A = this chain, B = another copy of it.
Amino acid sequence: MRNIEEAIYDTMSSALLSGQLSPGTPLRENPLADVFGVSRERMRKILLRLGTQKLIELIPNRGAFVAAPSLAQARDIYESRRILEGGIVNHLASLIGSQDAQRLQQHLAAEQAALQRGDRAESVRLSAEFHMLLAQATGSHFIVQQMGELVSRTSMLVAMFEPARSSHCACEEHRSIYDALMAGDSEAATRAMRAHLSLVETRLRPGAAAPSGNAVETLGALWALRNAADGAPHEAAGP
């Protein structure tokens, strides 16, 4: 019965990441605990975890709120990614393994396929995954973890600030990064990565984002959906 915590965390996390909850919305402990069918203490622990990852904002004696990142914070995230991912590709260019290289190539093909298919959801997923693959190629656990956090927060930013109809055609940019890596040209790889991230950053627009009505309702629906899919409803019916 420890896994339910993880399940709730995942549900809330993906809801936050995909922008299904309005920024600034209060997340009260009791209603949430009620919706997910757990005690308030457990709910508290989950909210604490979400808070450390900055997916929600925790204010002492006030409670938890859906994170409402400013454009300034958004710029900081992208700047951090330019620095960190610049370091990653610079490091990778000189010593990437053939196995990782092959994996990346497969990924680029998958990205292009999704793009031509017009599968937008898959495209954004793969787009994020490309960056995670690069992080994993370093073999450093710490780097993977940090990139995971940055990619998560970037996803939330995109959900909030992206003007919805923007084309995610980052595929060629990813390929140019890959090409530079394969050529062993660390400087070109770094430049390509920075340019790519800067380009993505410029797509952010201040307006945007006013999706959900009731936060707990939204989460409740997602939770029911997930439990139905798992075949394990959280409410057991009599015989």
What is the interface of chain A, defined by CB distance below 8 A to chain B?
Answer: 2, 52, 60, 76-77, 79-80, 82-88, 90-91, 138-143, 146, 150, 187, 190
User: 19 A-B Cβ contacts within 8 A?
Assistant: A2-B60, A52-B52, A76-B140, A76-B142, A79-B138, A79-B139, A79-B140, A79-B143, A80-B142, A80-B146, A83-B87, A83-B91, A84-B143, A86-B90, A87-B87, A87-B90, A90-B90, A142-B150, A187-B187
A76 touches B150 (CB 8 A): no
A interface, over-half SS: helix
Residues of B within 8 A of A190 (CB): 90
**Contacts A86-B90, A88-B83: A142 and B77 contacting too (C-beta < 8 A)?**
yes
A52 to B: closest C-beta gap in Å: 6
Q: Give the residues in chain B near A90, CB-CB below 8 Å.
A: 86-87, 90, 190
Q: Nearest residue in B to A49 (C-beta to C-beta)? A: B52
Instruction: Beyond the given A84-B84, A84-B143, A90-B90, please list 14 additional residue pairs across the A-B interface where CB-CB is below 8 A.
Output: A2-B60, A52-B52, A79-B140, A79-B143, A80-B143, A83-B91, A83-B140, A83-B143, A84-B87, A86-B87, A87-B88, A90-B190, A142-B150, A187-B187
